[in-house]
Amino acid sequence: MRRVTIVPTGTANTASVVAALTRLGAEVGMATPRDVDSSAGVVLPGVGSFGAAMGRIDSLGLATALGERIEAGRPTLAVCVGMQVLGRGSEESPGSAGLNLLEATVGRFPHGVTVPQMGWNRVEPGPDSRFVEAGWAYFANSYRIERAPEGWVGSRTDHGGEFLSALEKGDVLACQFHPELSGQWGARLLDRWLRCVEMAA
């Protein structure tokens, strides 16, 4: 069964994420701390600011449960700001601590680069990628992580220089792009991740 729980970050494009997962046969609900621990699959979406997303996660009491789940490599999908909050912090929201699951700080694109990056860009998977294949994905971001932390498989994209467009570790997939808005390429990516959810159910 493809049962998925979504973290209600309050800044998320929840409707499009739910629609994409539902089209692929998933049953979708909203998360409580108990759900984050017990669900076969959890999605951490986000559109908006790093600080607002982390404030919502903290207010819901979900930070510890999310951290434990991701550290264990259980099926978790993080999208856009949802990927960024896995880091220590972000230049976007100084003083706002992330989940500190990645040895990385989120930085703004260099001066002179168009921000936000809005639209389609090429994704090149890492050599050991299980989920990401080469193709075109839809992005909407002004901030990014530059390099993959140790122990994670990273996919790369170029926008004023290379940056990290996806991370994989165990059954955890974090995407700077929006797979739910990335056509058939994104649907195939989500389907590969949902197969891990099925196996964990």
Active site amino acids: 80, 178, 180
DSSP letters of 171-200? TEEEESSBGGGSHHHHHHHHHHHHHHHHHH
Q: Are strands 3-6 and 41-44 parallel, antiparallel or unpaired?
A: parallel
In the structure encoding, which two tokens stand for residue 56, read together?
């919502």
- Other C-beta atoms within 10 Å of 107: how many? 15
Which residue type sits at 85?
Answer: V
User: Who's near 70: CB < 8 A, 6+ residues apart?
Assistant: 76, 86, 99, 101, 172
Pairing of strands 76-79, 172-175: parallel
